[in-house]
Structure 1
Amino acid sequence: MGFSSMVVPPRTKQIMVGSPGYTDPHYLRTGIACKKNDVYSLGVVILELVTGMEAFCPKRGQLLTTMVSPKLREIADGGVGVAGMVDLRLGGEFDWEEAKVMLTIAGLCLQQSPTDRPSAAEIMQTMKGKINSIDSRLSLPSPAKGRH
């Protein structure tokens, strides 16, 4: 009986792709992918919805997160500056408390360290608990039974 040679396929490196402005800077620095990378991207989407601005401004060559992060810190420290962050096209017609909650959530999602970011369940719980217009009966979908 002889030894057979085993062919080991070369390791493939997984590459995460993303659009400018949405990709977690922690992932870009470390190459380590985790669930909290998506939480970061959610924070960017929330910022886009509240501010009416795009994640990346090609004219300025700037990321939305870079432009608004000082203002997000002010909001986290006391709610100052919320009105100045909301999309001007709304003409001031918005719920200040809802905007503050959403901007606070965005700020938490954009924390530098993924371990400091909330989970999706925590985000949903915060929205349900602090935004009156969200039906308190909303919940995360449960996994389908019988699927493998």
Structure 2
Amino acid sequence: MSFLVQYLATMLCYALVWFFLPTCSLFFFILISAWHFGETDLEKVPNTLLWRVAQFTLGLLVLGFLLFTHSAEITPLWSRLVRGNLSAEATWLLLVEYQAVILLNGSLFFILLAFFAHAQSRISLNLYRYTRLAVIFSFLLFFTPSTRFYLI
């Protein structure tokens, strides 16, 4: 019973913070989600700084990919969540405009991080899983209209 009470109290506090500071709460939610995605996709890694940053970077990439590939649906939702915060809305639109550059550079950064983290503390990698992820990013780069400008 104590877990349930603690969980409900935490959710109530977060709801109050979201009500009074929606933009900060949304930013915090994105950070937590990115950490969750990265920790799930890169599991059983050593507890080193490089691996933790690699996990978080991968989580940001996965979350960014999901949000950017559905930007038409996310943009009105984003506007409602930030409640007219013009700088947050402008930041989202800027991120959407440069999504291909962000995802490409983020992917390269993740690859470098994973390379150095693996050199520091070796782990066994599921190459099939990460090859599929690379293919998804490749399709994004090829089929996103704004990408063609940057690749040509």
Q: Which has the larger radius of gyration?
A: 1
TM-score (normalizing by structure 2): 0.28
